[in-house]
Amino acid sequence: MTDTTTEQATAAASGAAATEQFRSRLRTDAAGVDTKRVDTLVTELLAAAHDIIRRHEVTYAEYDALKSWLIQVGEDGEWPLFLDVWLEHAVEEVAGASREGSKGTIEGPYYVPDSPVLPAESALPMRDGEDGTALLFQGRVRSVDGTPLPGATIEMWHADNDGLYSQFAPGLPEWNLRGTIVADDRGGFRIRTVQPAPYQIPTDGACGKLIDAAGWHAWRPAHLHLKVSAPGHQLITTQLYFEGGEHVADDIATAVKPELILAPTPVADGDGREVTYDFVLDKA
């Protein structure tokens, strides 16, 4: 991470922002989850934990380490980060299993709804001289039957060249590298942005402590986040990665799929790189 003259990004600050963001847009009321499902799922989850404790003869020292770590996850506001890095991929796999169109993957903790609405050919909001290789991301949105989807929207958000997300790290303009692009009358879009850097999850909080204690690494490959939707079609939440990029093969969040890897090429008569990617949406 480069140095900055502004406030440092901290686990507790980004955790608090992610917790707040999540609370403001729960997909469901937890009280509405069926009693039988809660009974089954929690009973099986606990039974799996009991089994692990017995098989590995977990000690009181280890139990206390777990207990104090769980308390710290809450204090640091890192439940969204922990859950989205280590559990969400399995939930997404189940949710996306019967979809025919483009692959989805996890949303992660840093989505913010209602980003600035932009025409089909646009640059994402960014600072003057925003750091990083220019990237032209273009394509079409169509239905599984091949029909173009005019007026589809492509919400895009990603980290900057330092791996920081606006609204979760200090010192960035509010909507930096976030926008909602409205496709043209043929479902087309041409979005100018900069290529994001690999993302290191905060190392100074509870999740960082776990990664250290387990001898893991803390990295996600560079990625673009997207939510693509159109009337009468299912919204897809996805991410796109870059061929040959660091950690494409060992994403800590287990969210890379082969279909989601882009191979941008140098722009023929200009700066930066360009890539075409089409989105295919299932009918609602």
Residues in contact with ligand MBD by the rule CB under 6 A: 81, 84-85, 106, 108-110, 199, 201, 220, 253, 255
120: partner contacted, choices ligand MBD, Fe ion, none (Cβ within 5-8 A by kind) = none
Instruction: Between 142 and 209, name the residue whose CB sits nearer to ligand MBD.
Output: 209
Neighbours of 250 (CB within 10 A): 13
Identity of the residue numbered 134: A
CB of 187: closest distance to ligand MBD in angstroms?
Answer: 26
> Looking at 100-108, 128-136, 175-183, 267-275, which segment touches Fe ion (CB under 5 A)?
100-108
> Looking at 32-40, 101-109, 148-156, 209-217, which segment touches Fe ion (CB under 5 A)?
101-109
CA distance linking residue 244 with residue 277, whole number of Å = 17
Task: Kindly write down the DSSP assignment for every residue of 202-256, as one continuous string.
Answer: PSSSHHHHHHHHHT---EE---EEEEEE-TTB--EEEEEEETT-TTSSS-TT---
CB of 118: closest distance to ligand MBD in angstroms?
Answer: 22
Q: Return the percent helix, strand and coil in the chain, to nearest 5.
A: 30, 25, 50
What distance separates the 2 farthest-apart alpha carbons in the chain?
65
Residue 35: phi and psi, rounded to 5, are -55, -45
| Near Fe ion by CB under 5 A: residue from 80, 96, 101, 108 | 108
CB of 88: closest distance to ligand MBD in angstroms?
Answer: 7
Q: Tell me the residue nearest to Fe ion as measured from the CB.
A: 108
Beta bridge partners of 141: 279
Instruction: Between 143 and 167, name the residue whose CB sits nearer to Fe ion.
Output: 167
Q: Which helix (H) or strand (E) holds 95?
A: helix 88-96
Instruction: Between 108 and 205, name the residue whose CB sits nearer to Fe ion.
Output: 108
201: partner contacted, choices ligand MBD, Fe ion, none (Cβ within 5-8 A by kind) = ligand MBD
Binding site for Fe ion (CB under 5 A): 108
